[in-house]
Amino acid sequence: MSTHARHICYFFDYAALSMYSLGSALAYSAYVFPAEWLNSPFHRCYVPVAVLNSVVSTSLSCYSRFLEAERPRFSKASRTLAFVYPYLFDSIPLFYRVRTACLHSTKTFHTAFAFLTCFIFASHLPERLAPGHFDYIGHSHQVFHVCGIIGTHFQMEAITMDMAERHDQLLPPSLLPSSLQTLGAMGIGMAVSLAVIGLCSVSLRFMPEPLQREKPHGY
């Protein structure tokens, strides 16, 4: 795989993560928001801001690929921020409910695995402690994906329980977002993210290929 193709695959990966964040916000808006926040100004702005966050997340994470060669630490920090900020914003109603009420263990597990995923992604553990021993199995990239999948499982379980238990306590059907509004938010986020991917992919032609070291004769 060429370097440019590898970058493009990462662009789509980042866009998928931002859409996952937006999908979480849509579910939280409908089923996780505290009852006292329903139909408040924050609740009404929550999904539009989540759409904006998804666009910023895709843009910042894709742009970070262009910084890797010259400013690797800033590139890593930018990419981490691009993923962490939308999660923190989306989770504001969840954090509030965790602080004010005793929630199901699934929500606690989801939050714990989310922070563990972020920690492993940023710290590069365990390979930092034993370089060369986790190149194929146990690498931090593998571990944080596993933690992310487990956290997503608990997230889906928690949302399903909230949907069943709080359905009658939340907004009346007339005030719930319609399918068109939900799909519209996802469609806008997806369309802009694809536009960002296209722009970044075209810009790759101006990024020189990394120089490859010449191999000695006989290799």
Question: Between 102 and 28, where is the model more confident?
Answer: 28
Query: What does the alpha-carbon distance between residue 208 and residue 130 come to, in Å, rounded to a whole number?
Result: 33
- The DSSP secondary-structure symbol of 41 reads H
Q: In which residue are the tokens 């997340």 written? A: 57
Phi and psi angles of residue 209, each rounded to the nearest 5 degrees, phi first:
-65, 140
Would you kindly state where each structural domain of the chain is located, as residue ranges? Answer: 3-206
Please give the distance of CA 92 from its chain centroid, rounded to a whole number.
15
- For the chain, give the mean pLDDT: 86
CA 143 – CA 116 distance, rounded (Å): 10
Residue 212's pLDDT band (cuts 50, 70, 90): very low
Of the listed ranges 42-51, 124-133, 208-217, the least confidently predicted one is 208-217
Give the residue with greater pLDDT, 198 vs 216: 198
pLDDT at 213: 42
Give just the sign of the alpha carbon dihedral 142, 143, 144, 148: positive
157-202: pLDDT as tens digits: 988 988 888 777 665 654 566 777 789 999 999 999 999 999 999 9
pLDDT-derived band at 99 (thresholds 50, 70, 90) equals confident
- Contact of 18 with 86, CB cutoff 8 Å: yes
Predicted structure pTM score = 0.84
Query: What pLDDT, on a 0 to 100 scale, did the predictor assign at position 50?
Result: 96
Rounded distance between C-alpha atoms, residue 48 and residue 57, angstroms:
14
Calculate what percentage of the chain has a pLDDT beyond 90. Answer: 47
pLDDT-derived band at 216 (thresholds 50, 70, 90) equals: very low
Residue 39 has pLDDT above 90, yes or no: no
- 141 known ligand binder: yes
Residue 109 reports pLDDT greater than 90: no
145 marked ligand binding residue: yes
User: Six-digit token pair at 206?
Assistant: 């101006």
pLDDT digits (tens, 9 = 90+) for 44-90: 999 999 999 999 999 999 999 998 888 888 998 999 999 999 999 99
CA distance 129 to 135: 12
